[in-house]
Amino acid sequence: MKKGLISKVQRYSINDGPGIRSTVFLKGCNLNCMWCSNPELIDFSQSYLDGKPVGELISVKDVVKEVIRDIDFYKESLGGVTFSGGEPLLQSDFLLECIKLLKDYSIHIAIDTALYVDKKIIKKLLPYVDLWLVDLKSIDDITHIKTTNVSNKIILDNIKFLYKNNVNMWIRCILVNKENYDLDELKKRLNFIESIKKCVKRVDILGYHQLGVSKYQKLNKEYLLTNEALLSDIQEKEVEELIKEYVLPIYFERGI
Ligand code: SF4
């Protein structure tokens, strides 16, 4: 049975999909977003935070055993299990084994992903995943490369692939002043989302927040953003006005 590199399993999570959920955080990511609030999960190699190692090899059986403890909560709240990270799709064989076992218990499965992976990985998981939580960090490729280190071409292509397969998606758009935010670009992101709206059950527009900043110093990593990355009151108002033009189920969370 396979083992996965896991940083933690968070119980009673309410922000990673519908209902009450357990979120399994997998270590390792192939992006490097300027605003990442989990920088300790980016490297596959061992890292330490507050003197404690981040990430442990855990078997499929042990992950499943841990998350089915809360099966009654999932059933009552229409929740389930979310695999997040990091980028969970980078450990796809382990992920697939976990998900198949959880499906034997009829547990709702969500995957929180940036989708910067080969389509083959998505194809093999597709039949077992109930909800895809997808980030759309910028529709402009130059901005995407500048802020995440990778092109958005594969990501957009994979979103279209999910759409063609008629899956359920929640899409999240982070807005970072001076980095990936301007109103025209946000319009383009929302227009793209509107073009696939039959699959989109929810859109979260998230103002930049500073959670996780203190981790950078502890990890000896440089943090490139400043307070200027927060949207101004005027920008927040223009976002609120813009989203009124769409019939999508959009939720806007101001930054902090
Ligand atoms: S995709 Fe997520 S985990 Fe990876 S670097 Fe970006 S914000 Fe961090």
Cα 193 from chain centroid (whole Å)? 16
Please tell me the distance between residue 32's alpha carbon and the centre of ligand 1 in angstroms.
Answer: 6
Atom of ligand 1 nearest to the CA of 85: 3
* pLDDT value at 29 more than 80: yes
Sketch the domain layout of the chain as residue ranges. 3-253
What are the structure tokens assigned to 255, written together? 């930054």
Cβ atoms of residues 26 and 87 within 8 Å: yes
What pLDDT, on a 0 to 100 scale, did the predictor assign at position 163?
Answer: 98
**Using one digit for the tens of pLDDT, what is the confidence trace for 180-230?**
999 999 999 999 999 999 999 999 999 999 888 999 999 989 999 999 999
**Using one digit for the tens of pLDDT, what is the confidence trace for 192-201?**
999 999 999 9
Cβ atoms of residues 209 and 256 within 8 Å: yes
Q: How confident is the model at residue 172 (pLDDT cuts 50, 70, 90)?
A: very high
Please tell me the distance between residue 33's alpha carbon and the centre of ligand 1 in angstroms.
Answer: 5
Q: Quickly name the fold that domain 3-253 has.
A: TIM Barrel (3.20.20)
Please tell me the distance between residue 35's alpha carbon and the centre of ligand 1 in angstroms.
Answer: 8
3-state class of 241 per DSSP?
helix
